[in-house]
Amino acid sequence: MSDFAVLGLFDSADALMKAIPQVKAKKLGRLEAYTPYPIHGMDEALELRRSPLGGMVLAMGILGALTALGAQYWISAIDYPIVTGGKAPWSWEAFVPIMFEVMVAFATFTAGLGMLLLLNKLPFFGHPVLNAKAMRAITRDRFALALEADPELDAEAAKAALRAAGATDLEVLPFPEKGPFLTSDFILRSLGGIFVACAVAGIGMYWAIKLVPTLIPITHMLEQPKVNAYEGSTFFADGRAMLTPVPGTVARGYLPVAAATQEEAAGLANPLPRTPEVLALGKKAFTNRCAVCHGPLANGQGSLGAAYGAKPANLQAGQFQAGGDRPVPSGPLGPPQASGAASQAKPGPGSGFPPYPDGKIYWTIVHGKNAMPSQAADLTVDERWAVVHYVRALQRAQNAKDEDLP
């Protein structure tokens, strides 16, 4: 095996530059110079190609600017359009500063890392000249000219050529020895090391994720000067965190029902007119609060009932009809007819059930019945009565007659 290179040292940049054409003329191998600082004219002397770095940087700079513009446009105009300062979401002028910064970032990292990693192939710790005795002088104050194998090198001829050009301290650099690298022992030990590192990192991350969010102040303002649920307080004598309201206090919009039992409530009249607005309100409240169990048609076929096996009331059943088990009387929509004692007083012909007045439905909404919880906290008085109207409308719709057609 031949040698990698023959190295000759010079004392000045001048001497080195004068020697290069002399040695080059002999055509013994690839010529390379190792110097402590860049020398003017070295590119021409060694006949190096122009560095392609400028083009790389230009291309990556343009790419960076376009990336920033595209990302900002997509985010601000398409994915998350929010009007700020009265500007249109696609107004691009505000994107210019970040475009510039990202362009510079792309370009500089291309210049720096592209030079290091792509063009100079660094980091690389195995270059033969790093092990040369002359290395100390090269990074200090002397200048080396090397004839390198291309692919073979006649070391004696190279030495003679360098000496003739004025070099001192000639040094022959052998190819670096390549020891066995991928032995099974090495692979096993590496895999073991990787496994241990992963295990340690995993356990560390597990505890970090568990513990760190519980540390004050990372608890996202969990610690506050207020009384949390089930916490004692010494602020009031009775240990409560909040004063109990004065007896008889009524929350706005939540008047209590004057009836104690459902039978008493039968006499309540629906105070709301049957207008499209009221029915729309009733539809909304029914859809939000009731339909999940009673079903959108109030026939007891709600999705929750189907999923959990509960048996919500079928409000279309005869027992819940305003006029008993016969269909709602036909005729144009008039004033609320299923109100109070009037409808209660006259059971429908042939019915097994007495009429079911509006007040009873209202009472059930407020207090709940069997498995049904109270809806009082979620529906205002108006919403409850609107639901009653809507239920009536559903009942009529499911029992429509020919005369109901417009």
How buried is residue 372: exposed, middle or buried, by Cβ count under 10 Å (0-12/13-18/19+)? middle
* Residue 269 within binding range of another protein, rule CB under 8 A: no
* Residue 226 within binding range of another protein, rule CB under 8 A: no
* Residue 71 within binding range of another protein, rule CB under 8 A: yes
CB atoms within 10 A of CB 293: 20
Of 217 and 245, CB closest to another protein: 217
Of 75 and 203, CB closest to another protein: 75
Query: Could you tell me if 250 and 259 are in contact, meaning their C-beta atoms sit under 8 angstroms apart?
Result: no
Query: Could you tell me if 36 and 143 are in contact, meaning their C-beta atoms sit under 8 angstroms apart?
Result: yes
* Residue 205 within binding range of another protein, rule CB under 8 A: no
**Shortest approach of another protein to residue 109 CB, angstroms?**
7
Q: Phi then psi for 170, rounded to 5 degrees?
A: -70, 145
Angle at 274 between CA 273 and CA 278, to 5 degrees: 90
**Shortest approach of another protein to residue 131 CB, angstroms?**
10
Of 112 and 368, CB closest to another protein: 112
Residues binding another protein: number (CB under 8 A):
74
* Residue 116 within binding range of another protein, rule CB under 8 A: yes
**Shortest approach of another protein to residue 229 CB, angstroms?**
24
Single residue of 129, 278, 285, 366 touching another protein by CB under 8 A:
129
Judged by DSSP in three states, 215 sits in coil
* Residue 36 within binding range of another protein, rule CB under 8 A: yes
Of 130 and 197, CB closest to another protein: 130
Name which of residues 295 to 314 contact another protein (CB under 8 A): none
Name which of residues 136 to 195 contact another protein (CB under 8 A): 136, 138-141
Tokens encoding 102: 């990202």
Query: Which CA distances in Å does 180 have to 183, 189, 396?
Result: 7, 15, 91
Of 112 and 253, CB closest to another protein: 112
**Shortest approach of another protein to residue 219 CB, angstroms?**
10
**Shortest approach of another protein to residue 6 CB, angstroms?**
15
Q: Which of 125, 111, 130, 132 is nearest to 57 (CA)?
A: 111
* Residue 17 within binding range of another protein, rule CB under 8 A: yes
Of 141 and 152, CB closest to another protein: 141
**Shortest approach of another protein to residue 205 CB, angstroms?**
16
* Residue 225 within binding range of another protein, rule CB under 8 A: no
Letters for 85-104 (x = contact with another protein by CB under 8 A, - = none) are: x-x------xx-xx-xxx-x
**Shortest approach of another protein to residue 83 CB, angstroms?**
10
Tokens encoding 274: 């049957």
* Residue 123 within binding range of another protein, rule CB under 8 A: yes
Query: Which CA distances in Å does 306 have to 239, 299, 310, 370?
Result: 45, 12, 7, 18
* Residue 230 within binding range of another protein, rule CB under 8 A: no
Interface stretch with another protein, choices 46-54, 168-176, 196-204, 302-310 (CB under 8 A): 46-54
If residue 236 lies in a helix (H) or strand (E), which one and from where to where? none
Q: Which of 227, 252, 255, 256 is nearest to 240 (CA)?
A: 227
Q: 83: which residues sit within 8 A by CB, 6+ positions away?
A: 89
Interface stretch with another protein, choices 43-51, 229-237, 243-251, 397-405 (CB under 8 A): 43-51
CA atoms within 13 Å, Cβ hemisphere of 87: 12
Query: Could you tell me if 161 and 145 are in contact, meaning their C-beta atoms sit under 8 angstroms apart?
Result: no
**Shortest approach of another protein to residue 69 CB, angstroms?**
10
Query: Could you tell me if 329 and 323 are in contact, meaning their C-beta atoms sit under 8 angstroms apart?
Result: yes
Distance CA 140, CA 138 (A): 5
Kindly give the residue spans of alpha helices, DSSP state H, lying in 247-367. Answer: 262-265, 276-285, 291-294, 303-308, 340-345, 358-367
**Shortest approach of another protein to residue 155 CB, angstroms?**
20
**Shortest approach of another protein to residue 87 CB, angstroms?**
6
* Residue 119 within binding range of another protein, rule CB under 8 A: yes
